Amino acid sequence: MSLHLISHTLCPYVQRAAISLAEKKVRFERTYIDLANKSDWFLAVSPLGKTPVLLKGEVPIFESAVILEYLEETQPNPLHPHDALERARHRAWMEFGSAVLNDIAGFYSASDEGVFDAKIAVLHEKFRRVEAELEAGPYFAGDRFGLVDVVFGPVFRYFNVFEEIGAFGILTDLPKIDRWRQALCSRDSVEKAVGEDYPSLLRAFLLRRNSYLSSLMRTNEGRHRATAGLESQVKP
């Protein structure tokens, strides 16, 4: 039976499933849905109304952690360590990655500067903790790409857009994190887990939040327009 991944264009949890499937070289279909306008067929296969959902034939598997474990149990090219203790350690850091995603959502949803700065501090501290766990690299466990890398690939993708908006210092002075980020962002499975329009879609999503970050984005866009206008006036 074929595998069918029900997706949303921006969902980092969908990206986890897509990366794992790519690393395991498993062929699958992919359908994108609009989470703002959930169809009856989607709600029938997703009891929580969330993505991702992996369909094995007509049987739905929902929740990204469950999907990743199912793929580990049924598909080739394992991404978990063989040792039971190391597997447990990796699962714990995968959960930590989910907590980082929650803090990222708090960062881009912060309503004022005080909350915004507090979220920056929380995120920096979380990445500092991860920095202490990293080995020589390039991946979380050294040379071997694994499920912790699958989880953090979508995390780092956010920062490609965040850093176009401003220098927030979340990943400052974390050299191991920087090397890990570069390795993940350049890996084929991570890069192709989203469409080419992902950056523009994410920027549009952030602008719609009416948050402190979106206000910074609007201010930056206003400055860019003003600068472009001045440059056009001084051209001969």
For residue 179, pLDDT over 60 is answered with yes
pLDDT of residue 223: 61
Cα torsion through 21, 27, 202, 108, rounded to 10:
-20
50 CA to centre of own chain: 15
Over residues 9-60, the pLDDT tens digits come to: 999 999 999 999 999 999 999 999 999 999 999 999 999 999 999 999 999 9
The single residue listed with the structure tokens 């990655």 is 97
Dist. CA 194–CA 7, nearest whole Å: 10
Whether 33 and 39 have beta carbons less than 8 Å apart is answered as: yes
For residue 93, pLDDT over 80 is answered with yes
**Confidence bin at 230 (pLDDT 50/70/90):** very low
Which letter does DSSP use for residue 37 in this model? S
Least confident segment among 20-34, 70-84, 101-115, 217-231: 217-231
For residue 114, pLDDT over 90 is answered with yes
Dist. CA 12–CA 133, nearest whole Å: 22
For residue 226, pLDDT over 50 is answered with no
Identify the structural domains of the chain with CATH numbers, from first to last.
3-74 (3.40.30.10), 81-236 (1.20.1050.10)
pLDDT of residue 229: 42
CB atoms within 10 A of CB 5: 19
What mean pLDDT is predicted for residues 120-138? 96
Over residues 137-148, the pLDDT tens digits come to: 899 999 999 999
